[in-house]
Structure 1
Amino acid sequence: MGKLVGLNLGKGDLNRGFPSVTVQLSEDDNSTALQLTGSLPASPELIALYKRWQLLYKLIYESLYPSGCWRNHEIDEAIEIDEEDITNVSIIEFGILCNDLQNSINCWLKSESFRKIDQKLRTKLATTDEIKVVLQSEDDRTRRLPWHLWNFFEDYPHAVVCLSAPEYEPIKSLKKPSNKVIRILAILGNSQGIDVQKDREMLEQLPGAETIFLVEPQRRELDRWLWDKKGWDILFFAGHSSTHADGETGKFYINQNDSLTITQLKNSLRAAIKRGLSLAIFNSCEGLGLACQLISLHIPQMIVMREPVPDLVAQEFLKHFLEAFSEGESFYLAVREAGERLQGLESDFPCASWLPVICQNPAESPLIWSEKVKETSNIYNKILPNKQIIGAILMTTIAVTSGIILVISQGILQFWELQFFDILMRSRPQEKPDPRILIVTVTEADVRSQSPQERGGASLSDRSLAQLIAKLEQFQPRVIGLDIYREAPVKADYPNLASWMKKSDRFIAICKASEDEKNSGVASPPEVPTQRLGFSDVVPDPDGILRRHLLAMAPASPCSTDKSLSFQLATRYLASYGIKAKLTPEKNWQFGNIVFENLESDSGGYHGIDSDGHQVLLNWRSATSVAPIVTLKDVLNNKLTSHLVKDRIVLIGTTAESFHDYWDTPYSPSQWPHKPMPGVVVQAHKVSQIISAVLDRRPLLWVWSKGGEFLWVWCWSLIGGVLAWCNRSVLGLGVALTLTLCFLYGSCLGLLMLGGWVPLIPSALALLTVTTFLLAYRFYSRNF
């Protein structure tokens, strides 16, 4: 530790006070940098509070766990209540008592006669210092107080309190054997009602440790091992123990019939300490009595539990302490961290974090789990794979990845990749409707409300269209797109409509290019010039689902435009921002700084698709509504308002099922019953994709190059190899695989939200294939 604070309370007790308190602040070299004196007043109420705390602690645990799971041999005996007749144990009352005890301790330590010591220490210590506070007192009740509740330890996160005898001296040690590993003598004593096997498993897994286990030994056997000439670094005990009422003596149960005190092992323990025994851990109940006896032998460090400890709490403390200590954390901070982590158990085990206590010989240095020990660790040798294993993993992952990339190139996985693309698309959070677009739909009811003679087989008559345009124009939309075919000219009865369609620079109409001899296409309205036409053609995937956005293509009769309706509408809208569309040298369309890169025939999960024209992946906005929607009836009945229309893109199209303008999308399977999306809504998604990418920097969907795909799939195959190598049980491997597949799905979903469509099925296949192969290799090869 960086700093040593010796807090000597001198003679006195809580009833009479401590008239002479001395504090010494030392550096690492034990040179005294500061000495302070003061006093502490009497505080008999602390005695009463702590005694009541002990009583309620035992009563609560007895009521919560009546069957017993304690490391105290005498816990099953009836608890005698001398001063109070408590018939009702309250967790709430116990919590209040804990707060009262903490407040009382801090109030006592804030007394005027001690405050100057506290303040002076704080001026000399930094919150980043590692601080060892060694408490010396002749009063047992004072030593038993939970000193870690002092606010000083909250303000200094690297400070630890240790108990010490008033008198101490350095050990006159024999020449310590040069052990390359930490030697541990582990006594697994009487385990009736508890599980000390967990303690054993943790000790067996320690890196760089040689552990000798004595399971319920006889006294002679224990004594003989303590005298071992190789010496010990750690003495460990797990089992039942207890402290006598005087607080000065304790005993631990080495087997079902025998218990020992430290005095009964004094000679062998003294010999072990001289040969290097640095740390004793009593992972059992009420160890302060044992500590008092063992401190008199000047052992460097001890860890004990101040009160009866539940079995699970003892196991959790040991696990966290050994993890931190063996990974290089200092002894004191490892104890503090392990104790603080017990707080997570306190909903079931109140005050669990109060239990661990360090006892210290200030004249001795703590045990350090050295780097040399780590390098010779048995577990390290188990974990570090040999060159043959590394070679097997690398060869397997590269071979499997290459095979899967070959399978992808043949289009075998395209169907499944597209299905999971749809699932990921549906899993994304819903986006708000685009406020720059308004959809006007012609419903089945709107169609029936119009005269069949006026409609002439169309969904929207000249009369209705003229009325609709007049209603919209009064609110000044930015651009109007008509997603309804009109091959016939406007009737002579509506000259204003014909003139508007011919002259308005913010009106875009549609036509459809012929696909083959059977699908001859649809011509454009005679009144609309070519520069204000947009084609309605789409490029569905082989399964009939729309996932691509066709921006432009070579014009084909009878549709004489090379731009899509969505392209034309977005271009007109963005022109008001001074943004124009242009072709890059690579023949990609660019709006401002945003480039819409063309799909190739084998982009992403695709294989051999028709990539003619300028196609990009369609980044759908929402499964519910891409923009506000009103019906033709709403508009004609004057339910339209300026804020819905002004400066917006207005799309007019039919949703009447009798006109069959519906398309399957990635969202269609999520609708029940199966419900495709109206064509006008699809057009709104396309328009929104363009203007949102340019104005809002909403991501366009992108795919990796073939090299990037190979690296991505190889990484997941490598993860599969690591899982097969690290997991020694099929069940553990199954759990790890499940969690990894969930992480893979989450990664693909997260990347899709950022615009990236990355391989999911190939990665999962690589992960499972490599794991299966290496698992079989492990079972059939002794070298794994």
Structure 2
Amino acid sequence: MGKLVILKIGEGSFEQGFPVTLQIGDENARPVVEITGELPPNPEIPRDYHRWQSTYRNLKLPSRPIGLPKQLIQAPSLEDCQQVTEKLKVSFNTWLACDGFRPIREKWLEKLMSADKIRVLLQTKDLRLQKLPWHLWDLLERYPHTEIALSAPAYEQVNRVASTSDRVKILAILGNSQGIDTQADRKLLELLPNADITFLVEPQSQDLTDRLWEQHWQILFFAGHSSTVETNVTGKIYINQTESLTIGQLKYGLRKAVERGLQLAIFNSCDGLGLAWEFADLHIPQIIVMREPVPDRVAQQFLKYFLAAFAQGEPLYLAVRQARERLQGLENQLPCASWLPVICQNPAEIPLTWQELSSNSANLPTPVRTVTHRQSFSLLLLFSIAIAGLLTGIRYLGVLQPLELSAFDQLLRSRPQEKPDSRLLLVTVTEEDVQAQPESERRGSLSDKSLAQLVEKLAIYQPQVIGLDIYREHTLAKDYPQLHKWMSQSDRFVSVCRVSDPQTGKSGIAPPKEVSADSLGFSNILTDADRVVRRHYLALTPPPASPCQASYSLSVQLALRYLYSKGITLEFTPDGMWQLGKLKFKPLEAHTGGYQGIDALGHQILLNYRSSTSPNAIAPQITLQDVIAGKFNAAAVKGKIVLIGTTAESFHDYWPTPYIYQGNAQEIPGVILQAQMLSQLLSAALDGRPLLWSWSIWSEVIWIWLWSFFGCLLAWYIKRVDYLILTATIAFVILYGSCLIILILFGGWIPLVPAALALGCGAVTVVVFLNSYFQQK
């Protein structure tokens, strides 16, 4: 979609400065941005311009002026002209780079992209400002699809009558051709496609007036001599060898031509700003004039380049810019050729293309369409809701689950470190501990003898509870009656078994025969599709055929015994939720957070790993041989939960976690994983450390929609791609930071990936689709 920029320069002077207002908006729409600035006093600017103008006009160039006598001084050289030209360009751009004008420049750079097609209207009634070479403003040179036009502060739209012709109607006036070749202009016009041209060669004033009244002209063309009277800013055209006319003398005929559809006037003649100034009162849509005396060759080449581009479909402004810039090739011999052509625009009108001029409907008045803030808001709301709905649907189907779980892992890893849980003591059976036991006595990783010695040593120092995370399907040897008594009668000992899983076909593992059902906990682990453990099994209903009938997990059994000593018991709320003191456990459902359609059977919660450099650093650890040898501190055991398990890699009891080690998911022993689960329950019940939770589905939908709407807003108001990318990046950082802070402080798993996608999709949708929508409208 094209952009319209209006630069309004108010009442002022080069001695006192000028107030400036910048407006930016889309074509066919009201401005959406307005900012003010100022140009400071600088009397040198008009003096530099006058030196350039005097030098240029006194060059010995074959041109089309009459009434512009050269001063009786030595003719300046081309080098002289180049020097004053460069000085004017530098001083002009220095003036526009002042501090007071900087807000104008910065807002322009923020809202407009180099790829935009931009029409710039300079709106001022100061003729000296209009004469300045605005096309040399360094800011405009960054935008290759931009052209600046002059405009009067007062304007209005004229209701025009539709033409009945399907060809472009052109009235071409070939005026006084003394010393110039106007026939070259005629030949160029005759090459135009789909054009109906009437030529008036050196006409009489009456003949010209009659022709203006008689037909519906769309383009008025003049080639010949013209000039501007500086004293009263009056333009004059020389229609034949003896007659000249001002625009005022043709006022009624020209006004009628405008009412009948005149769209464009081209004066391929000298010093035409006075003509444009007078034309402003007639409200003609567009005029192209030459700002200074124009050499005959420059006039012909400009017409050739402009008509070729315009007739091939280029917009009027870009056709003028192309033609003007191509004149640079002549400037070694004809300096400042590319300075001369300039457009004068009626702001109430929209420039038409050649194809539109040949359409009957193109001659009807084109109203300026407006897009209100309410309409903009409604469209952004519509698109953001559609994006949020689409993403929610895709998410519900589980498409985003792998990305969301990866993002969740990243958030977990980004949390600050926590201290190890001092309420736990891990007794690990290492590979060395296994090998140290006689092979004939081993029952898995732990022999009866080693277990008896271990329990005997630990019991002396009164641990709160001992948990055995090692499967023991065999019967205890009769040589250890004290161990048998401890395992069967003590309420401070919990052993482990595995419940059968009919869905996966994984068989169960029976518990030790010496342990009562009340002192059993299952060790079943929940893994996701990538095998990573992110969920914590609290309870389940074992199948009747399972050899393990434990209903609570090992971590729950150990936690309940420890918490009982602190006066906290497990209760159930009326809606069936677990409650430990003030802590309530909300079980996972099939659609929870980033999980979509998971098997939520049993009582599951998210596993809130204790954050540290490694999940292995959950609690103090001591090896089996060190305990048996008495190499430990009694304070490390008394009143603690002692968890016994193997870390020997040969038993393959390792589980992937959200943490990363050497580029892969870090695997930890099962006993460490049980310690993470146990610590989660204790910390939540005793320390207030939050359990992980997620919003309801509707809360997440609203969150996703908010970010979608925010992305739409960013793209709607920030037009430059680099600024939009920067702002969107900052928005993503804010989104990520918000999700991380909520996770750290409150344990909330807030949708990150869907919100980020909503932000990006909202911005892309506005850039790609909304702009094209308004262009079509």
Q: Structure 2 length normalisation: TM-score?
A: 0.54
For residues 681 and 316 of structure 1, the distance between their equivalents in structure 2, rounded to whole angstroms, comes to 67
Residue number in structure 1 paired with 2:64: none
Residue number in structure 1 paired with 2:431: 444
For residues 384 and 518 of structure 1, the distance between their equivalents in structure 2, rounded to whole angstroms, comes to 64
- Structure 1 contact 182–208 (Cα < 8 Å) conserved: no
Mapped pair 1:725 → 2:716 = yes
Q: Report how many residues are paired.
A: 458
How far does residue 586 in structure 1 lie from its aligned partner after superposition? 2.0
- Structure 1 contact 540–547 (Cα < 8 Å) conserved: yes
Residue number in structure 2 paired with 1:509: 495
Residue number in structure 2 paired with 1:582: 571
- Mapping of 1:370-769 within 5 angstroms? 386-456=373-443, 458-516=444-502, 518-556=505-543, 557-622=546-611, 623-624=614-615, 625-667=617-659, 669-671=660-662, 675-753=666-744, 754-769=746-761
For residues 215 and 497 of structure 1, the distance between their equivalents in structure 2, rounded to whole angstroms, comes to 106
- Mapping of 1:314-325 within 5 angstroms? 315=99
For residues 755 and 654 of structure 2, the distance between their equivalents in structure 1, rounded to whole angstroms, comes to 34
Q: What one-letter code is carried by the residue in structure 2 that aligns with 1:603? A: T
Q: What one-letter code is carried by the residue in structure 2 that aligns with 1:610? A: D
For 1:296-335, what per-residue CA distance to the aligned partner results, in whole angstroms no more than 9, with x for missing partners? xxxxxxxxxxxxxxx99x8499879x99xxxxxxxxxxxx
What SS class does the counterpart of residue 665 from structure 1 fall into? strand
For 1:388-416, what per-residue CA distance to the aligned partner results, in whole angstroms no more than 9, with x for missing partners? 21111000000110111111111111111
What SS class does the counterpart of residue 376 from structure 2 fall into? helix
What SS class does the counterpart of residue 453 from structure 1 fall into? coil
- Mapping of 1:188-227 within 5 angstroms? 207=35, 216-218=44-46
Residue number in structure 2 paired with 1:94: none
Q: What one-letter code is carried by the residue in structure 1 that aligns with 2:46? A: Q
How far does residue 208 in structure 1 lie from its aligned partner after superposition? 5.9
- Mapping of 1:37-48 within 5 angstroms? none
- Structure 2 contact 658–666 (Cα < 8 Å) conserved: no
How far does residue 210 in structure 1 lie from its aligned partner after superposition? 8.0
For 1:543-564, what per-residue CA distance to the aligned partner results, in whole angstroms no more than 9, with x for missing partners? 2111111101113421122110
- Structure 1 contact 588–614 (Cα < 8 Å) conserved: no
Distance 1:692 1:317, change over 3 A: farther
Give unmatched runs, 5+ long, in structure 2.
Answer: 1-7, 25-32, 51-85, 89-93, 108-369
Q: Give the number of the structure with larger relative contact order, counting CA–CA contacts within 8 Å between residues 6 or more apart.
A: 2
What SS class does the counterpart of residue 440 from structure 1 fall into? strand
Mapped pair 1:772 → 2:764 = yes
For residues 587 and 472 of structure 1, the distance between their equivalents in structure 2, rounded to whole angstroms, comes to 38
Distance 1:672 1:404, change over 3 A: closer
For 1:144-194, what per-residue CA distance to the aligned partner results, in whole angstroms no more than 9, with x for missing partners? xxxxxxxxxxxxxxxxxxxxxxxxxxxxxxxxxxxxx996748599xxxxx
How far does residue 498 in structure 1 lie from its aligned partner after superposition? 0.7
How far does residue 588 in structure 1 lie from its aligned partner after superposition? 1.7
Distance 1:315 1:453, change over 3 A: farther
Larger radius of gyration: 2
For 1:578-608, what per-residue CA distance to the aligned partner results, in whole angstroms no more than 9, with x for missing partners? 1001222222211111011010011111111
How far does residue 677 in structure 1 lie from its aligned partner after superposition? 1.0
How far does residue 446 in structure 1 lie from its aligned partner after superposition? 0.5
Q: What one-letter code is carried by the residue in structure 1 that aligns with 2:677? A: K
Distance 1:733 1:518, change over 3 A: closer
For residues 449 and 681 of structure 1, the distance between their equivalents in structure 2, rounded to whole angstroms, comes to 22
How far does residue 200 in structure 1 lie from its aligned partner after superposition? 8.3
Distance 1:648 1:212, change over 3 A: same
Q: What one-letter code is carried by the residue in structure 2 that aligns with 1:218? A: P
- Structure 2 contact 22–35 (Cα < 8 Å) conserved: no
For 1:732-758, what per-residue CA distance to the aligned partner results, in whole angstroms no more than 9, with x for missing partners? 111112222222222222222121111
- Structure 1 contact 510–535 (Cα < 8 Å) conserved: yes
- Structure 1 contact 582–591 (Cα < 8 Å) conserved: yes
Q: What one-letter code is carried by the residue in structure 1 that aligns with 2:591? A: D
What SS class does the counterpart of residue 591 from structure 2 fall into? coil
Q: What one-letter code is carried by the residue in structure 1 that aligns with 2:701? A: F
For 1:39-68, what per-residue CA distance to the aligned partner results, in whole angstroms no more than 9, with x for missing partners? xxxxxxxxxxxxxxxxxxxxxxxxxxxxxx
For residues 519 and 653 of structure 2, the distance between their equivalents in structure 1, rounded to whole angstroms, comes to 22
For residues 518 and 735 of structure 1, the distance between their equivalents in structure 2, rounded to whole angstroms, comes to 52
What SS class does the counterpart of residue 653 from structure 1 fall into? strand
Q: What one-letter code is carried by the residue in structure 2 that aligns with 1:514? A: S
For residues 316 and 486 of structure 1, the distance between their equivalents in structure 2, rounded to whole angstroms, comes to 84
How far does residue 610 in structure 1 lie from its aligned partner after superposition? 0.8
What SS class does the counterpart of residue 618 from structure 2 fall into? coil
Q: Percent identity?
A: 45
What SS class does the counterpart of residue 473 from structure 2 fall into? coil
What SS class does the counterpart of residue 558 from structure 1 fall into? coil
Distance 1:650 1:186, change over 3 A: farther
Distance 1:518 1:402, change over 3 A: closer
- Structure 1 contact 184–211 (Cα < 8 Å) conserved: no
Distance 1:694 1:447, change over 3 A: same
- Mapping of 1:251-330 within 5 angstroms? 315=99
How far does residue 769 in structure 1 lie from its aligned partner after superposition? 1.1
- Structure 2 contact 40–100 (Cα < 8 Å) conserved: no
- Structure 1 contact 433–626 (Cα < 8 Å) conserved: yes
What SS class does the counterpart of residue 482 from structure 1 fall into? strand
How far does residue 727 in structure 1 lie from its aligned partner after superposition? 0.9
Distance 1:780 1:534, change over 3 A: same
- Structure 1 contact 514–521 (Cα < 8 Å) conserved: yes
Q: What one-letter code is carried by the residue in structure 2 that aligns with 1:504? A: S
How far does residue 782 in structure 1 lie from its aligned partner after superposition? 4.5
For residues 751 and 502 of structure 1, the distance between their equivalents in structure 2, rounded to whole angstroms, comes to 46
For residues 526 and 475 of structure 1, the distance between their equivalents in structure 2, rounded to whole angstroms, comes to 26
